[in-house]
């Protein structure tokens, strides 16, 4: 890539989009293959699992990888017009780092052993820090904060892996699944799990370890935050699901750990606290960042409940929320690119100028609130159903209450946009020299693609659940 970049700067973009496109196609066929013929195990260099490194492609990991691929593909298509404006001369590192990030995340997803997961976690994290730092102004500070907390998180994770290795003598997940249940009383195993979960919780921005998240998403360049926000926090959640339900079996059944129940409470505080904080923000991207914290809380609630409905809700919400958040961040990017607006209060100006973008905004907002028939409703439905089934009424009500708060902050935006006072917007008009006219095609494509997906995922939710999500459940 750097070589190509030196020769022709524009080629980089094409190369990166082609790579992601190819990845999406492969991931899609991989997913279909896995659903039809069962999981694929790949061992590096022919070394068999206990010694060698194993990659596993089962229904869950292939769904997640497809998710990563398609979202990063569409986001990078969307950011084609904006790249030059955001990065000026340094666009080549952006492409390299993005691809590195994507492959790191995909590696985390496929990893069949805990240490390999750590390696890819570091790959993804390091490229994430660098990407955030490529922004202007306070981005550097935000990136440094992200770096500090992220490193603490990964260290915790590594420490935990060390403990588990010391106790069980293996790192491979399927081996752990056999050996660990015998050692559940061992203090070292418990401590190891606590460390692993804490480390992942930092990486996913779970309350109260979310401190790094809002600033990094807000000050990162728009194309960066649009790629990072939907997937970077989801993959640690995926890793958590993988470890709790596959590698250790600590997530459900008779072996369910108390630790997992506590995790749910963090989810509750995150879900409600995050949306309350989101309500106070006037920067659109910052609001979305807090909203991410709240949604991660919801997913963790589902993981903590751990029955089939709730876990189905969590996985569905990982998918749905990834698309919703990318749509929202893509909208934020579009609005900033074409009108220079970051502030919610100025959105009123867009009313007559960008009808398509605003339609997408309305659809996604409705979906975030969880109004049927958009996709957000259905993941919440499963989460609530799972909670009630497990008789965890507090968790179920927390999901409902948090969607109520979500409604509060999204309607605040919609109200400002559609019914905001015309005088306020007239004043703004003089401040920024705005470009008028149609959006460039790639941006239009990105926005409408995600908005359409949000609706389609909702309408066909029944099929998606029975065809993709159900086979991915561990039960």
Question: Where does this chain bind other proteins (CB under 8 A)?
Answer: 366, 369, 371-373, 377-378, 381-382, 384-385, 388-389, 396-397, 400-401, 403-404, 407, 411, 415, 418-419, 459-463, 465-466, 470
Residues in the chain: 475
Q: Measured between alpha carbons, how far is 310 from 386 in angstroms, rounded to an integer? A: 4
Q: Measured between alpha carbons, how far is 422 from 346 in angstroms, rounded to an integer? A: 10
Retrieve residue 433's tokens.
Answer: 């020299």
Q: Residue 48 or residue 359: which is nearer to other proteins going by CB?
A: 359
Residue 423 beta carbon to other proteins: minimum distance, rounded to whole angstroms: 12
Q: Residue 431 or residue 462: which is nearer to other proteins going by CB?
A: 462
- Count the neighbouring beta carbons within 10 Å of the beta carbon of residue 456: 14
Bridge partners of 57, per DSSP, are 40
Q: Residue 94 or residue 468: which is nearer to other proteins going by CB?
A: 468
Q: Residue 289 or residue 457: which is nearer to other proteins going by CB?
A: 457
Residue 110 beta carbon to other proteins: minimum distance, rounded to whole angstroms: 28
Q: Residue 20 or residue 60: which is nearer to other proteins going by CB?
A: 60
Residue 394 beta carbon to other proteins: minimum distance, rounded to whole angstroms: 12
Residue 382 beta carbon to other proteins: minimum distance, rounded to whole angstroms: 8
Q: Measured between alpha carbons, how far is 409 from 301 in angstroms, rounded to an integer? A: 21
Q: Residue 221 or residue 306: which is nearer to other proteins going by CB?
A: 306
Q: Measured between alpha carbons, how far is 277 from 240 in angstroms, rounded to an integer? A: 25
Max Cα separation, the chain? 70
Retrieve residue 79's tokens.
Answer: 């950011």
**Alpha helical stretches, state H, 420-467:** 422-431, 441-459, 461-464
Q: Residue 1 or residue 473: which is nearer to other proteins going by CB?
A: 473
Residue 413 beta carbon to other proteins: minimum distance, rounded to whole angstroms: 13
DSSP at 242: I
Nearest to 88 by CA among 130, 143, 127, 136: 136
Retrieve residue 189's tokens.
Answer: 């195993």
Taking phi first (over 0 means left), then psi (-120 to 50 degrees means alpha), and beta for anything else, what does residue 355 get? alpha
Residue 380 beta carbon to other proteins: minimum distance, rounded to whole angstroms: 8
Residue 218 beta carbon to other proteins: minimum distance, rounded to whole angstroms: 27
């Amino acid at each position: 890539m750097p070589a190509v970049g030196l020769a022709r700067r524009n080629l980089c973009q094409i190369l990166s989009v082609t790579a992601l496109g190819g990845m999406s196609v492969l991931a899609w066929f991989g997913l279909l293959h896995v659903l039809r013929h069962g999981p694929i195990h790949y061992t590096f260099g022919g070394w068999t699992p206990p010694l060698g490194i194993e990659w596993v492609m089962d229904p869950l990991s292939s769904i997640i990888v497809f998710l990563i691929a398609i979202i990063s593909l569409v986001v990078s298509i969307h950011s084609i017009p904006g790249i030059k404006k955001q990065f000026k001369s340094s666009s080549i590192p952006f492409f390299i780092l993005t691809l590195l990030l994507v492959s790191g995340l995909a590696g985390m997803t496929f990893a069949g052993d805990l240490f390999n997961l750590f390696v890819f976690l570091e790959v993804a994290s390091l490229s994430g820090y660098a990407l955030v730092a490529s922004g202007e102004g306070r981005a550097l500070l935000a990136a440094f904060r992200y770096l500090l907390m992220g490193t603490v998180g990964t260290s915790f994770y590594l420490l935990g892996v060390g403990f588990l290795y010391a106790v069980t003598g293996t790192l491979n997940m399927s081996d752990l699944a056999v050996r660990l249940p015998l050692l559940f009383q061992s203090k070292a195993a418990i401590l190891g799990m606590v460390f692993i979960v804490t480390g992942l919780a930092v990486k996913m921005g779970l309350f109260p370890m979310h401190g790094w998240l809002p600033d990094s998403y807000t000050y990162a360049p728009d194309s960066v935050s649009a790629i990072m926000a939907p997937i970077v926090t989801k993959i640690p959640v995926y890793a958590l699901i993988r470890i709790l339900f596959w590698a250790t079996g600590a997530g459900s059944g008779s072996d369910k750990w108390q630790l997992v129940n506590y995790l749910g409470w963090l989810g509750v505080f995150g879900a409600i606290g995050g949306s309350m904080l989101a309500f106070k923000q006037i920067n659109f991207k910052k609001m979305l960042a807090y909203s991410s914290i709240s949604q991660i809380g919801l997913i963790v609630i589902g993981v903590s409940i751990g029955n089939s409905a709730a876990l189905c809700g969590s996985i569905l919400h990982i998918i749905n929320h990834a698309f919703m958040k990318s749509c929202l961040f893509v909208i934020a990017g579009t609005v900033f690119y074409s009108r220079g607006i970051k502030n919610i209060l100025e959105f009123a100006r867009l009313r007559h100028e960008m009808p398509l973008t605003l339609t997408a905004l309305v659809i996604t907002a409705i979906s975030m609130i969880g109004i049927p028939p958009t996709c957000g409703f259905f993941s919440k439905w499963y989460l609530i159903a799972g909670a009630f089934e497990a008789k965890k009424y507090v968790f179920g009500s927390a999901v409902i209450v948090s969607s109520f708060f979500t409604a509060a902050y999204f309607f605040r935006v919609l109200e400002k946009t559609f019914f905001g006072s015309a005088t306020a917007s007239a004043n703004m008009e003089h401040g920024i020299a705005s470009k008028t006219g149609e959006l460039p095609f790639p941006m239009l494509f990105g926005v409408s693609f995600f908005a359409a997906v949000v609706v389609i995922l909702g309408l066909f939710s029944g099929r998606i659940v029975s065809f993709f999500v159900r086979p991915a459940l561990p039960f």
